[in-house]
Structure 1
Amino acid sequence: MPRALHHLDLWVDDVATAEGEWGWLLARCGWQREEGVLSWVHPDGTYVFMEHSPDQHGAHDRLRPGINHLATTVETRDELDRMRSESTEHGWHELYADRYPYAGGEAHVALYLESSEGFEVEVVAGG
């Protein structure tokens, strides 16, 4: 079956900071860094490319029209718990911490994180 999504381009303000934050998160979710470019590829072939473009204007705001957040997966709840415990040291802020891991509902096990630039990522355990 072909992948559902080909790739995502992330436009960031601070490439060095974003590379550290996103690199950690994507690696924990099974994505591999591609050699020589700011890109990570998932085992299904989907990739995320990161850059700071001269065409950018204004700060990222996930609450404005556009994409609100990215959701990815890990296989187990243990992996999710490890990500939660490590996330702060890698620049991520936990959202809805008081409702972890059921902030998305009782049948939905997930961790919600926000990067230093305000990007939200939902990491779902078990697909």
Structure 2
Amino acid sequence: MKGVIHHIEIYVSDLNRSTEFWNWLLTELGYKKFQQWDQGISYKLNESYIVFVQTEDQHLDIPYHRKRTGLNHMAFHVNSREMVDEFTEKLKARNIKILYADKHPYAGGENYYAVFFEDPDRIKVELVSDR
């Protein structure tokens, strides 16, 4: 399949904390744990996978910021607006702050139904309804 993402690798400041966050979210989205080793973990859906790797200590001095060069955010499809609403409630139950709460669920525009939040390193994550 030409052009489909093979994998994305993201370095994280605390692998245990990130694994707790991403394991829950990605499992809910249908991903399966794919690989695990001392310094990383990956999750696979179909032919694509996402890898999280512990940042080496000497590179932890500058924290992630989505306004710098590099990854801004990750957006995932969900099947319905109801799923966006269900995830919103699950995020709140986990004490995960909803971004743009004053505009939720239309923070992306009047015809864009989504929930926005951040992972432990403040990487913005978006779940958007296809319909």
Deviation at residue 2 of structure 1 after TM alignment = 4.3
- Deviations 1:51-107, CA, capped at 9 Å, x for gaps: 113263421111111111011111111111111111144463210111111110111
Q: In the alignment, what sits opposite 2:85?
A: 81
Inter-CA distance 36–68: structure 2 relative to 1 (3 Å threshold): closer
Q: Work out whether residues 35 and 43 of structure 2, in 8 Å CA contact, stay in contact via their aligned partners in 1.
A: no
With structure 2 as the length reference, what TM-score do the two structures score?
0.85
CA distance, structure 2, for counterparts of residue 97 and residue 61 of structure 1: 20
Matching of residue 46 in structure 1 with residue 21 in structure 2: no
Residue type at the aligned position of 1:73: H
Structure of larger gyration radius: 2
Q: Which runs of 5+ in 2 are unaligned?
A: none
Q: SS of 2:65's equivalent?
A: coil
Q: Work out whether residues 80 and 111 of structure 1, in 8 Å CA contact, stay in contact via their aligned partners in 2.
A: yes
Tell me which protein shows more strand as a share of its residues. Answer: 2
Q: How many residues align?
A: 126
Q: In the alignment, what sits opposite 1:32?
A: 32
**Identity over the aligned pairs, expressed in percent?**
29
RMSD of equivalent CA atoms: 1.9
Q: Which runs of 5+ in 1 are unaligned?
A: none
- Deviations 1:17-58, CA, capped at 9 Å, x for gaps: 100111111122221112545111113x11001111326342
CA distance, structure 2, for counterparts of residue 11 and residue 69 of structure 1: 14
